[in-house]
Amino acid sequence: MLKEVRPAIASFLLITFLAGAIYPLLVTGLAQALMADKADGSLVLKDGKGIGSRLIGQYFSDPGHFWGRPSATSPMPYNGASSGGSNLGPTNPALLDAVKARIKALKDSDPGNRAPIPVDLVTASASGLDPEISPAAAAYQISRIARVRKMTPERLKQLVEAHTVERQFGFLGEPGVNVLELNLALDSLQ
């Protein structure tokens, strides 16, 4: 029996060492060498200090900033440890109530805005962590931000256009605007 157990234990230890130590160190080393920014979480730095990530949404509620897509994570918005949607179906009254509350908040923050509200400003994504909104969602917020910051809407439109990322390879995904990067650029104007 020892004759059969010894190779099994040796194989187990070898595979554990290769898969549990060598492979992760190799992959981590290659990632750091080839794309350190992405390997470190695509962090956004301000004055040398990490303030967020390009990959995870940030919560903005100040009327002078662009607001991101609602987050369904708990116990706080954009909680990376709690990624996931609300699991509320389209016929669930709780989803309808949440959407109505979000529409009311948007209308209350900009009563003169009669434009249709883009869906991504009132519904959460499957992950609840989206860092981007659609260009239409950014454009919807321009009048509020222009009024609060006493800026021209044209200047804000230029800023949104400058931060709009087109479809990957021209056909994958949808155009988007990273809310954190857009708000940092907005703050740098004043």
**Distance (Å, whole) CA 133 – CA 57:** 10
Nearest CA-CA partner of 102 in 114, 120, 89: 120
pLDDT for res 8: 92
**Distance (Å, whole) CA 84 – CA 86:** 7
Q: Where are the alpha helices (DSSP H) in the chain?
A: 2-17, 23-39, 93-109, 135-149, 153-162, 179-188
Q: Number of C-alpha atoms within 13 angstroms, CB side, residue 33? A: 6
Query: Each residue of 139-181: pLDDT tens digit?
Result: 999 999 999 999 999 999 999 999 999 999 989 999 999 999 9
Query: What backbone torsions phi and psi does residue 149 show, to the nearest 5 degrees?
Result: -90, -5
Nearest CA-CA partner of 53 in 38, 33, 63, 75: 38
**Distance (Å, whole) CA 81 – CA 71:** 13
User: In this structure, are residues 177 and 65 in contact, taking their beta carbons and an 8 Å threshold?
Assistant: no
CA angle 165, 137, 53 (to 5 degrees): 55
């794309």: which residue's tokens? 35
pLDDT in tens for each of the 190 residues of the chain? Answer: 778 899 999 999 999 999 999 999 999 999 889 988 777 777 888 888 888 888 888 899 999 999 999 988 878 888 878 887 778 888 999 999 999 999 999 999 999 999 999 999 999 888 888 999 999 999 999 999 999 999 999 999 999 999 999 999 989 999 999 999 999 999 998 6
User: In this structure, are residues 56 and 43 in contact, taking their beta carbons and an 8 Å threshold?
Assistant: no
At residue 177, the 3 state secondary structure works out as strand
